Structure 1
């Protein structure tokens, strides 16, 4: 029995070794379709990126800013000519003929300067318009080429994926419009907020003005705007503070006779100096400054003080803030990636006057708002405490007695997300008003009740937005 098993195994092994090898099976695949042109797609993507970088929002707003400046300057010139004509008619009322002639000569000199400025503005407008025409022509040609190339590449979409996505997008858009019409409700009317007759803040549109001013790219931090309560004869003036030392300190305020002067970079009457040294006692620290009633309000150098600099008398008066107020870059505005240094104190203006936003150790970093009483020496008025953490905020501004706070969304968008009503004490965290930015950062934000504009200083550029109330 054992012998039989051994012989069978030997036979099996022999058969296995002698079996002929299996034949290999191979098939040939022929692709009738052309190979996808990956290199061509890469070139199209590069061209799209280049075209997108050339056509930026700044270029459109630059043209609008020049037109707005020209419109306001022509209006001012018309007023000055009318005044001169009236004075010539009433020339006999002067105390002497010499006085009348002197006044006429001065008026003509002012008008001559204004016409020179208008010519400079028109020259810049013509130059910008020509550049935009060339850009438009180039962009149109590039877009036509890109469209033709994309249509050619769509031939490789044999499974109709792209076409299906396009149909789905159109259906979604139609569905959204239909749903919006069905769910339209009338917004309830709310009573006026704060200390002025306007209703709640509805939206911020623009930018309306975008300019690099006299020193393009030179001073990253600063502030600018209009005086809500200007001195007589200075109603059209604009002011500018640039932090000229280490992006922290400044020792003068620069004045412009009109918006067009600011845009083309002609400063008249020029700088009003606080002190010859920078920095030193009572000069400016930080970018959050405002001008009100012919006086500049700002954070005094190296102190938890508010300084008031009278531009006429060149005198400085100070107000010490409550004990525990954070200063010297210990209570800054921030977002997730960085903080804005030396933004401990934020001065703001609205229809009712000057406000100061800050934080203290007692409030654990939450925003504190105080009203400054008017006078040659600033006095701290009523104070409100909020529940919003200051380092979660990038900027604040006041409008109609309501404090608004912004936060960083991304490089292109900032959101007004918070409000505090000083009349009712009500806080809201869901304002949801978005601002399109011209550059990544907004170093300062001031509201001007004169024309309901928000003036932002953004990485050395001056930008303004229109504020819309309900």
Structure 2
């Protein structure tokens, strides 16, 4: 029975295999999309990578450093030539002075040669990079035409939406924090736009002329009732590095005349010790002194009424103990790692961290009952190319040393928009070579500078 079933099946299979095919069926597939040019994408990625490698902040800093070096050497050469003219008696003194001038000229010629080479290299690099960027833009625009499913465009739209959402959240957060106080919000300046600095309005040696090179002075933007005209002074009395008290004056005239009332308010009897002052960059706000705590990467707040100290730890990697100072070509200012500042909106702190490669970091200090760090911004300006910073209406300003008579406000960072400006060109006429601390007072729109044992003030001019 089984055999009878198998035989017909075998016959059927054979018949099917032997039957010729009368028609051939073709399935034609046509791809309407162009083949994606992966080689062009790879070329564009390589070009972008080379641009990132060739264009670095260090190249700009190199040119700026050479320019500043030349600016410093030329006045020195003029002084040496004047000395030669005074001392030239045709004999020994003239020969020595001439040798000094020749050495200065040789150094200047070397600087000019390096500057010319660097400038030519920058011009070549700019030309090449501009051409590459134009080509890269054209290639990317061509590659965008392959995005028929709008995937990349959708991602970009989503990214923009996320950015707008973050800004909205920050705005709500800031308005919540300031809703109970009359403080001016960041970027909203009641005085107008910061335009310039006046000449020196006040210059005084105070009570201790020539005694303490490093220090700071100013006014409390939010003083207690009855203390609206008070001024404060901090002198680094221990090796130009540390202090353990703040000195108070009932008025500006009292400070100039050296009449201190009520006198010193001690943080601690020892100097230095835990929670005493380290470095000159201190400020007063709401009856409390803000400063860099001794031997710590922390901000201290000393309440002058209760005599209590609150501490706030800065982010991990923050440089302290004179490892992240303000500098210019000739020297660095020791223990200026942290710079406290006040403006219309409160207290701020600038510092550097290991992970930010020495660039300035700016944070808002929230002066609640519990001292804490608020929002943080990251800048592109290198700390050691800066001599001081201060805040005006939520905008960070940085200065640099030009010469013994001039300091330049060259940089700004707007915390509202995130925009940086490296070319402000606002000059401060100095009465003494070094501005060792700089504080803005929103009470009277004055800049209070401590300069080589002298106290000097300037008026901030708004449009």
1:215 matches 2:211:
no
The answer to whether the 8 Å contact 1:417/1:433 transfers is: yes
The answer for the alignment partner of 2:317 in structure 1 is 324
* Residues in 2 aligned to 1:362 and 1:198: alpha-carbon distance in whole angstroms: 37
Q: Which secondary structure state, in structure 1, belongs to the residue aligned with residue 256 of structure 2? A: helix
* Residues in 1 aligned to 2:397 and 2:314: alpha-carbon distance in whole angstroms: 21
* Residues in 2 aligned to 1:303 and 1:193: alpha-carbon distance in whole angstroms: 29
Aligned counterpart in structure 2 of residue 310 of structure 1, from 283, 303, 309? 303
The answer for the alignment partner of 1:355 in structure 2 is 348
Structure 1 stretches of at least 4 aligned residues deviating more than 4 Å after TM superposition:
none
In the TM superposition, 1:24-423 aligns within 5 A as 194-423=187-416
Q: CA offset at residue 198 of structure 1?
A: 3.1
Q: CA offset at residue 452 of structure 1?
A: 0.2
In the TM superposition, 1:422-437 aligns within 5 A as 422-437=415-430
Q: Which secondary structure state, in structure 2, belongs to the residue aligned with residue 263 of structure 1? A: helix
Unaligned runs of 5+ in 2: 1-81, 87-184
* Residues in 2 aligned to 1:337 and 1:448: alpha-carbon distance in whole angstroms: 29
Q: CA offset at residue 314 of structure 1?
A: 0.3
Q: Which secondary structure state, in structure 2, belongs to the residue aligned with residue 262 of structure 1? A: helix
* Residues in 2 aligned to 1:193 and 1:378: alpha-carbon distance in whole angstroms: 20
* Residues in 2 aligned to 1:388 and 1:197: alpha-carbon distance in whole angstroms: 27
Q: CA offset at residue 313 of structure 1?
A: 0.3
* Residues in 1 aligned to 2:271 and 2:186: alpha-carbon distance in whole angstroms: 41
Cα offsets for 1:13-44 (capped at 9, x unmatched): xxxxxxxxxxxxxxxxxxxxxxxxxxxxx99x
Cα offsets for 1:63-96 (capped at 9, x unmatched): xxxxxxxxxxxxxxxxxxxxxxxxxxxxxxxxxx
Q: CA offset at residue 292 of structure 1?
A: 0.2
Cα offsets for 1:186-211 (capped at 9, x unmatched): xxxxxx98133333210000200000
The answer to whether the 8 Å contact 1:193/1:199 transfers is: no
Q: Which secondary structure state, in structure 1, belongs to the residue aligned with residue 211 of structure 2? A: coil
The answer for the alignment partner of 1:142 in structure 2 is none
Cα offsets for 1:198-254 (capped at 9, x unmatched): 332100002000000000000000000000000000000000000000000000000
TM-score by length of 1: 0.59
Cα offsets for 1:110-142 (capped at 9, x unmatched): xxxxxxxxxxxxxxxxxxxxxxxxxxxxxxxxx
* Residues in 2 aligned to 1:393 and 1:400: alpha-carbon distance in whole angstroms: 20
The answer for the alignment partner of 1:464 in structure 2 is 457
The answer for the alignment partner of 2:56 in structure 1 is none
The answer to whether the 8 Å contact 2:186/2:345 transfers is: no
Q: Which secondary structure state, in structure 2, belongs to the residue aligned with residue 234 of structure 1? A: coil
The answer to whether the 8 Å contact 1:224/1:462 transfers is: yes
- RMSD in angstroms over aligned alpha carbons? 1.5
Cα offsets for 1:349-377 (capped at 9, x unmatched): 00000000000001000000000112233
* Residues in 2 aligned to 1:428 and 1:463: alpha-carbon distance in whole angstroms: 26
The answer for the alignment partner of 1:126 in structure 2 is none
* Residues in 2 aligned to 1:391 and 1:223: alpha-carbon distance in whole angstroms: 20
* Residues in 2 aligned to 1:350 and 1:195: alpha-carbon distance in whole angstroms: 12
* Residues 1:193 and 1:355: Cα distance change in structure 2 (over 3 Å): closer
The answer for the alignment partner of 1:12 in structure 2 is none
The answer to whether the 8 Å contact 1:202/1:468 transfers is: yes
Q: Which secondary structure state, in structure 1, belongs to the residue aligned with residue 253 of structure 2? A: helix
* Residues in 2 aligned to 1:345 and 1:281: alpha-carbon distance in whole angstroms: 17
* Residues in 1 aligned to 2:278 and 2:187: alpha-carbon distance in whole angstroms: 30
* Residues 1:351 and 1:193: Cα distance change in structure 2 (over 3 Å): closer
Query: How many residues of Structure 1 are paired with residues of Structure 2 in the alignment?
Result: 283
Unaligned runs of 5+ in 1: 1-41, 47-191
